[in-house]
Amino acid sequence: MIWPLANFITIHDVHRDTLRKVRTRISAELIAYFKDGLYTNVATTIGYPHLGRRYVRISIEADLAQNLHNISRKPTLHTGTNLQALIDAQNTPSLPNTRIVLVLSNRKNARGLLRASNASPPIPTAHLSLPAFFKSNPGKSRDEYDLEIARLVLRAKPDAVVCAGWMHILGEGFLDVLKGARALDGEVVVLPREVPVINIHPALFGQFDGAGAVERGFEAFQKGEVDKLGVMVHRVIKEVDRGKPLIERVVEVVKGEAIDAYEERLHKVEWEVIVEATRIVLDEVKPPLSCDGV
């Protein structure tokens, strides 16, 4: 377990070999965790029960800053939990005969990439951020980045694409390629059919489009500006969060409660609807065989 704590607990007499082993294991997991969580200067204490009451003190200097006050909140947002729900649902009655063929992020430290690599069997991953693309392709445009994302996606030959915390607005180029309306330079890929793209958004249709919807919605509810909140999974079109919903689900919110309590309920609903919506869209592109096999 990892507990972000403001104070240090001194190193007990942990045996050197154990410490090295523990540190190796910790460093990979922690660095991924904290870099993705964008924390900095965090003193953490790792309790390894099998080492008894011995603790290891580590301070992490992540490469991106984050207000320390956030550290008291469980970092549930953007840690790949919706992806995890899909990983866990593969080949279950919720999502039968389904395999995730690629997890792609626009952040190299995204927690979801770790979840995919740790899945059993491991899921192929890729990452390409807009700044990294511009750095390695001077003079290229955002549209050309979107086309490169489309290229990465289509090479995995998916039947559908699910955006689960994908925080990049996809341009028309990407969407046209996945519709089969535009060819990629140098690729002879001829799409057998349109590849639908869906996205999970933590608000009801037409409520709070764009980033930061949870916080904006919660604040509006507490101010009495809206009387309900929820989550939707919708088709992705050029206009952000304006695509037709596949599923909308109201999430209970209580006047005066802390946002963490609301977020916890919201995420639990998200983990259900993202699997349900993925099944709906996959059944559209690949209808399940009927009992007599036709």
Ligand X SMILES: NCC(=O)N[C@@H]1O[C@H](COP(=O)([O-])[O-])[C@@H](O)[C@H]1O
Can you give the binding site for ligand LMY7XDAE, defined by CB under 6 A?
163, 166-170, 199, 201, 210-211, 236, 238, 240-241, 243
Q: Which of 78, 108, 127, 235 binds ligand X (CB under 6 A)?
A: 78
Question: Does residue 50 carry a catalytic annotation?
Answer: no
With binding defined as CB under 6 A, does residue 82 bind ligand X? yes
Shorter beta-carbon distance to ligand X: residue 153 or 231: 231
With binding defined as CB under 6 A, does residue 217 bind ligand X? no
Q: How far apart are the first and last CA of the chain?
A: 49
- Give residue 145's region: left, alpha or beta (phi > 0; psi -120 to 50): alpha
Q: Structure tokens of 200?
A: 């999970």
Instruction: Tell me how far, at minimum, the Cβ of 200 lies from ligand X, in Å.
Output: 5
Q: Which of 15, 50, 69, 201 is catalytic?
A: 201
Q: Which of 19, 31, 77, 285 binds ligand X (CB under 6 A)?
A: 77
Looking up tokens 């704590």 gives 5
With binding defined as CB under 6 A, does residue 207 bind ligand X? no
Angle between helices 81-89 and 259-285 (to 10 degrees): 40
The vertex-123 CA angle with 153 and 164, nearest 5°, equals 60
With binding defined as CB under 6 A, does residue 243 bind ligand X? no
With binding defined as CB under 6 A, does residue 230 bind ligand X? no
Q: Residue 148: helix, strand or coil by DSSP?
A: helix
Strand partners, 5: 43
Cβ proximity of 130 and 145 under 8 Å: yes
Instruction: Tell me how far, at minimum, the Cβ of 174 lies from ligand X, in Å.
Output: 16
Residue 132: alpha-carbon gap to chain centroid: 19
169 interacts with, out of ligand LMY7XDAE, ligand X, none, CB within 5 to 8 A per kind: ligand LMY7XDAE
Shorter beta-carbon distance to ligand LMY7XDAE: residue 14 or 203: 203
Q: Which of 149, 213, 229, 277 binds ligand X (CB under 6 A)?
A: 213
Q: What is the dihedral of CA 148, 63, 3, 53, to 10 degrees?
A: 120
With binding defined as CB under 6 A, does residue 235 bind ligand X? no
Q: What are phi and psi of 104, to 5 degrees?
A: -115, 130
Q: Structure tokens of 42?
A: 């965090």
Compute the distance between CA of residue 244 and CA of residue 88 in angstroms, rounded to an integer: 26
Q: Which of 103, 200, 204, 253 binds ligand X (CB under 6 A)?
A: 200
80 interacts with, out of ligand LMY7XDAE, ligand X, none, CB within 5 to 8 A per kind: ligand X
Q: Contact positions toward ligand X, by CB under 6 A?
A: 77-83, 164-165, 200-202, 211, 213, 270
**Which residues are known catalytic residues?**
201
